[in-house]
Structure 1
Amino acid sequence: MDLPIIVGIDGSEPSLRAVDWAADEAALRGAGLRLVYASLWERYEGACLAHDLGKPSEEVMAQDIVDTAERRAHRRQPGVKVTTDLLPEEPEYALVRESRTALAVVVGCRGRSGLTETLLGSVSVMVAGHAHCPVIVLRGSHDNQARSGVRGRILLGVGEKPAGTAAVRFAVEEALLRGVPLEAVRAWRRPVHETTGHPLIVGEPAHLYEQHAVEALEEALRDVPEGLQVQRRTVEARARDALLAASREADLLVVGARRRHGHFGLQLGRVTHGVLHHAACPVAVVPEPA
């Protein structure tokens, strides 16, 4: 079965930018595009019907939103097959369920009032934390424009268990599809109790921790196909800070998120949560088995 790329839409400018980005991604992958609007309109409208169409007024509005998004997707990528759906349920739950049969889910970054550029809406966080497929959250370029391939690199955050992970495979695939280099970043820090002490032994622990970071990068990238340009970088810093700095020069930041079976809380680590809220480029959160 050919899986589609799903976009959560709500009529906002960020969600329309997500339609643009997802349409480009669908064209790259030869995939279909599915536009989903989910809302519990009947909770608020009850039996109040729109006079002309005999439907709840928010359902009429929802159809207008979907139609607008569909036209925009066709203009962006005329060759991509587009389907739409209206779902009478909370958007976060609808998108997580839809993610079971999706190649990826794309959502726009929608903050509140003057905090749009720094805070994510609850839907984006919920979907990124529970989806069964990669979730791309559109960060950066807050001008309602999708900017595919502007900086010409995919950024990968290499974590504690990188070898053969879904995040590594996704990042490699994105770089190959776009024909751009992959930059893999591994942050490292020496323990606080080893940052001071006798001047003759302070340098040695730092060297060892950096070497461990280098080895982690090599392990993560051992199966990268020949022909892909890879830039390996170790940084002495908090992982969140290192990735946020590097995101200013990337088209997409890819990070993994471990899924813990039987755990119903938010399944995003501190690093992933931090980059989702503050990265300067779109962020792809790729689920990893525990």
Structure 2
Amino acid sequence: MSRPIVVAVDGSETSLRAAEWAAAEAARRGAPLRIVSAPGLLPRMRSYQAPSTVANALRGIAARALAEAVDRVSEVTAGLLVETALLDGPPAAVVSDSGAGARLLVVGSRGAGGFSALVLGSVSRYVATHAPCPVVVVHEETGAVHREIVVGVRDPDNADAALGFAFEEAALRRANLTAVHAITWPATGPVSSAPAADSASLAAAAAAAQAAAERHLAEVLREWQQKYPEVTTAEDVVRCHPAQMLASLSARADLVVIGRHGTPGAPDGSSIQHAVLGHARGPVAIVPALSA
């Protein structure tokens, strides 16, 4: 059996939309869908401390969330192979671990909270930085089809995982791809604040730096364009904060893709990931770097 698409649900509307998104992705990839749910606990309560009546109630909530997700998926995707699983353990950790061996792990941007099964708001952020596979965090605005994939390229020489994922998505969706690379220039302040001679030299240096970055990005993308000739590709080198740009572009993209570097949960790049996840209007994919 091919590797599944996994989606975590808690019964909230956002998680049910995540299940719909995951089902469409599974159908697009010809993959099975696995729907999981993790019974939560009341604050400061550990699994071994929970009275059996509380534990059973929480498991019942999670089981109903699975049933609701199966019903929702069956309404939008016919003939899809679907299995469900009720997970045991701390929700963030067990949902993250459920991505082992998966093509993709999908979560909602926020959950029902309170006494319900899976508080996706905090879980989704943990999963995005710890899961062993690519993670897609689905926001509420997921219905529009723009036929554009946006990929953030932090380091063009270390972006194979994110670029490979983005090109594959664009090919599957018959979408265009825009690769965005942000540079910061000048480091010492705005050009307009410098003396005239210095201002001219700074402006020339900034233009040269941008041109060099554009050439470098185009060179890196050329290999992927040869592998996916059907994907129309554009490069965009910008001088602004990358998270702000990517969050803005999420309003017009079917998916924004960013890479995750370092060990799971490491701070490297996490501020950009959290900023994009916190402000995006559409689905965001977090793709771990390829193993060395």
TM over 0.5: yes
Runs (5+) with no aligned partner, structure 1:
50-54, 114-119
Cα deviations by residue, 1:130-181 (Å, 9 ceiling, x for unpaired):
111110001251xxxx41x611201111111445611000000000000010
- Residue in structure 2 matched with residue 254 of structure 1 by the alignment: 257
Instruction: Check conservation: 1:163, 1:219, Cα contact below 8 A.
Output: no
* 3-state SS of 2:78 partner: coil
Out of 224, 232, 235, the residue aligned to residue 235 of structure 2 is 232
Per the alignment, do residues 66 and 112 of structure 1 end up closer, same or farther by CA in structure 2, a change over 3 Å counting?
Answer: closer
- Residue in structure 2 matched with residue 21 of structure 1 by the alignment: 21
Q: Does 1:173 align with 2:176?
A: no
Out of 180, 186, 191, the residue aligned to residue 186 of structure 2 is 191
Deviation at 1:187, TM superposition (A): 1.6
Instruction: Check conservation: 2:5, 2:103, Cα contact below 8 A.
Output: yes
Cα deviations by residue, 1:191-213 (Å, 9 ceiling, x for unpaired):
32263342331221111220232
* 3-state SS of 1:11 partner: coil
Instruction: Check conservation: 2:14, 2:139, Cα contact below 8 A.
Output: no
Once residues 111 and 45 of structure 1 are traced to their aligned partners in structure 2, the CA distance between those partners, rounded to angstroms, is 22
Deviation at 1:280, TM superposition (A): 1.9
* 3-state SS of 1:151 partner: coil
Instruction: Check conservation: 2:39, 2:61, Cα contact below 8 A.
Output: no
Per the alignment, do residues 187 and 164 of structure 1 end up closer, same or farther by CA in structure 2, a change over 3 Å counting?
Answer: closer
- Residue in structure 2 matched with residue 78 of structure 1 by the alignment: 78
TM-score of the two chains, using structure 1 as the length reference: 0.86
Q: Does 1:200 align with 2:200?
A: yes
Instruction: Check conservation: 1:157, 1:254, Cα contact below 8 A.
Output: yes
- Residue in structure 1 matched with residue 128 of structure 2 by the alignment: 128
Runs (5+) with no aligned partner, structure 2:
42-46, 114-119
Deviation at 1:267, TM superposition (A): 5.7
* 3-state SS of 2:251 partner: helix
- Residue in structure 1 matched with residue 61 of structure 2 by the alignment: 61
Deviation at 1:91, TM superposition (A): 1.6
Q: How many residue pairs get matched?
A: 272
Paired residue type of 2:98: E
Cα deviations by residue, 1:215-269 (Å, 9 ceiling, x for unpaired):
3321331222212111211222121222122222111000001032xx7655653
Once residues 216 and 270 of structure 1 are traced to their aligned partners in structure 2, the CA distance between those partners, rounded to angstroms, is 25
CA-based RMSD of the aligned residues comes to: 2.4
Deviation at 1:40, TM superposition (A): 4.9
Out of 48, 51, 65, the residue aligned to residue 46 of structure 1 is 51
Paired residue type of 1:173: E
Instruction: Check conservation: 1:189, 1:209, Cα contact below 8 A.
Output: no
The percent identity for this pair of structures is 35
Moved more, 248-257 or 57-66: 57-66
- Residue in structure 1 matched with residue 116 of structure 2 by the alignment: none
Instruction: Check conservation: 2:109, 2:121, Cα contact below 8 A.
Output: yes
Query: What aligned pairs does 1:155-166 form with structure 2 within 5 A after superposition?
Result: 155-162=150-157, 165-166=160-161
Instruction: Check conservation: 1:18, 1:106, Cα contact below 8 A.
Output: yes
Once residues 89 and 269 of structure 2 are traced to their aligned partners in structure 1, the CA distance between those partners, rounded to angstroms, is 24
- Residue in structure 2 matched with residue 150 of structure 1 by the alignment: 145
Paired residue type of 1:158: V
